[in-house]
Amino acid sequence: MRNSILRSLCRKARDYYRGQVDTKELPHGWMRGTGGGSQGWKLNGSFLPDPRKIRCFITPDLKDFKLTPYVQIDSTYLSIQEEQKIAANK
């Protein structure tokens, strides 16, 4: 009895200090994920979202936003003085 308790305690301590989990050590089909957390509950085969847990991304107003998501390959670098002149003219 005592030996089995000691063996299980040693096994738990070994598993606790083992470090990061590798996907090869886990059951088939299990993925690590990003730790996003739950956004609701599963109940009777359906999902009930919780409005308090749903992620909400707040974006700034982009109506007068003049930048584009890409930069041209042949764009030139401006010196600090040139940037200041352009900013002063606006």
pLDDT in tens, the chain (90 residues): 566 665 655 555 556 556 666 667 777 777 666 677 888 888 898 999 999 988 888 888 888 888 777 777 777 788 888 888 888 987
pLDDT of 14: 59
Q: Is residue 59 part of a domain?
A: yes
Q: Are 49 and 39 in contact (CB under 8 A)?
A: yes
> What's the CA gap between 88 and 74, in Å, rounded?
25
- Region label for 56, one of left (φ > 0), alpha (ψ between -120 and 50) or beta (otherwise): beta
Q: Is residue 58 part of a domain?
A: yes
Domain region containing 33? 23-89
Q: Hey, how many other C-beta atoms are within 10 angstroms of the C-beta on 50? A: 10
Q: Is residue 11 part of a domain?
A: no
Q: Are 70 and 61 in contact (CB under 8 A)?
A: no
pLDDT tens-digit series, residues 62-88: 888 887 777 777 777 888 888 888 889
Domain count, the chain: 1
Sign of the CA dihedral 33, 38, 43, 47? negative
Q: Is residue 73 part of a domain?
A: yes
Q: Is residue 80 part of a domain?
A: yes
pLDDT of 46: 92
